[in-house]
Structure 1
Amino acid sequence: MIWVAVVVASVGCYLLKLAGMSLPASVLERPDVRRVALLLPVAMLSALVAVELFDGGGVLGVDPWLLAGVGAAVVALLLRQSFIVVIVVAAATTAVLRALT
């Protein structure tokens, strides 16, 4: 049964990607579409961090290593680094702190 879910999710992801690639250029050049495309990675990262901060019971499970990684990401954002640099800095900070403790 789990394989059915995996296949359905895979096909759905492929079709979603195909739908985005088959849009005409006139749609992609609209200012609203460009603004959403620029802000979408930040919104997705924020949602992932918010989900990670809470445990299964809805209780705030503060992980000091995760908070340190988020803090390092904020510093990288203030220094105007690219999105991939922010992700790498946050992940590396969290990983190093977890490895040291």
Structure 2
Amino acid sequence: MSAHAATWLAVLAAAAVCFATKLLGHRLPARWLEDPRVARVAGLVTVALLAALVAVQTFTSGRDVVVDARLVALAVAAVALALRAPFVVVVVLAAVVAAVLRAL
């Protein structure tokens, strides 16, 4: 099997697993989903996945761990969020900080 065919096979398998997971979620009994523990865990899993994504995108470049302008931009965004700045302002502020630091 060629690398191209193996890639497409992996994509199709991943799509099938995602579809099956989604279908299973719709087939669960409603009483399971109404449990407060399930709702709390679902909320925490979402936050944990987002935090992991931010950490990976901030501290890695390829296979290397790096500390660069992205870390400072993330810190600026966190401060702006803590000060209740609008989301658009947070994004633009972080992007400007990262661009200025990279230009230096």
| TM-score when normalising by structure 1 | 0.68
Structure 1 residue 51: Cα displacement: 2.0
When residues 91 and 15 of structure 1 are mapped into structure 2, their CA distance, relative to the original with a 3 A threshold, is farther
| TM-score when normalising by structure 2 | 0.67
Alignment correspondent of 1:40: 45
Structure 1 residue 62: Cα displacement: 1.6
| Largest Rg, 1 or 2 | 2
Percent identity between matched residues is 44
Q: Which runs of 5+ in 2 are unaligned?
A: 1-5
When residues 21 and 95 of structure 1 are mapped into structure 2, their CA distance, relative to the original with a 3 A threshold, is farther
Runs of 4+ aligned residues of structure 1 deviating over 3 Å after TM superposition are 88-101
When residues 12 and 54 of structure 1 are mapped into structure 2, their CA distance, relative to the original with a 3 A threshold, is same
When residues 11 and 66 of structure 1 are mapped into structure 2, their CA distance, relative to the original with a 3 A threshold, is farther
1:54 correspondence with 2:56 = no
1:17-96 alignment, distance < 5 Å: 17-52=22-57, 53-55=59-61, 56-57=63-64, 59=65, 61-69=66-74, 71-73=76-78, 75-76=80-81, 79=84, 85=87, 91-96=91-96
Structure 1 residue 76: Cα displacement: 2.2
CA RMSD of aligned residues (A): 2.7
